[in-house]
Amino acid sequence: MKIVFLLILITIFTLITMIICMYIFSKDYRNTSGIKFIDIINNKWVFGEYLIYKDLTKTEGYFKIITNLYIPSYDDKTTEVDMVLINKYGVFVIESKDYSGSIYGIGNNKYWTQILGDKVRNRFYSPIYQNKSHIIHMLKIIEDISINDVFSIIVFSERCKLKVTNIKSAYIKVIKRNQLIDTIDAISNSCMDVLSEEDIENIYIKLSKYTKCNSKYKEYNINRIE
């Protein structure tokens, strides 16, 4: 009985320690995104974006990260950009997809399929086309950067099986989260420097005006795909 009680205490202590550590280490993300800590630990979509942010902070050299951008699109609407990394090699526009199951898609198809188990099939809009729209509207704000210096990175969770084919553009990557840093490093190693620290700062300032959506937390649809 004493051993069981001791194990329970150790488990509780470990959980409390993990939560405290996460609270401390998530400070930068919370300040950047405006998202509360309770939302990070309670919402898997937010937690997935936090993990991406944490990985991006390992980027070498001078860089800026912006999260939760609400960019004007058409008819007074906005388009939501999950995350943007700006460094000397260009602008990396990141779309987070925290899906499980098997993901089937073809690069130029507008709809992909998620399969869960033997029977459940969910059709969803291609994140490649989704991020393409983000980039088009974002470039209207930045203006002084070439489309050839912008990279579209679609990041799925490690919980899924990615079966996406026929992506012909070197500017588009569909990966799992644990491949993110290696992917950015590979792109960076194949590129020349195109942005100075001043350029990075100017782009960051322009885009920062569109973050936090008037200090409201980004709403996550409870019916989103698991």
Could you report the average pLDDT of every consecutive run of 10 residues in the chain (226 residues)? 70 76 72 78 82 91 93 84 96 95 94 90 95 94 90 95 93 96 94 94 94 51 40
Domain with 201 in it: what CATH number? 3.40.1350
In which domain, by residue range, is 132 found? Answer: 60-208
- Answer yes or no: is 151 within a domain: yes
Instruction: Give residue 217's pLDDT.
Output: 42
Angular region, 191: left φ>0, alpha ψ -120 to 50, beta rest: beta
Instruction: Give residue 1's pLDDT.
Output: 65
- Answer yes or no: is 9 within a domain: no
- Answer yes or no: is 14 within a domain: no
- Answer yes or no: is 223 within a domain: no
Instruction: Give residue 4's pLDDT.
Output: 67
- Answer yes or no: is 26 within a domain: no
Q: Are 87 and 204 in contact (CB under 8 A)?
A: no
DSSP category for residue 33: H
Q: Are 157 and 99 in contact (CB under 8 A)?
A: yes
Q: Are 137 and 117 in contact (CB under 8 A)?
A: no
Instruction: Give residue 223's pLDDT.
Output: 36
- Answer yes or no: is 8 within a domain: no
- Answer yes or no: is 87 within a domain: yes
Instruction: Give residue 78's pLDDT.
Output: 87
- Answer yes or no: is 145 within a domain: yes
Domain count, the chain: 1
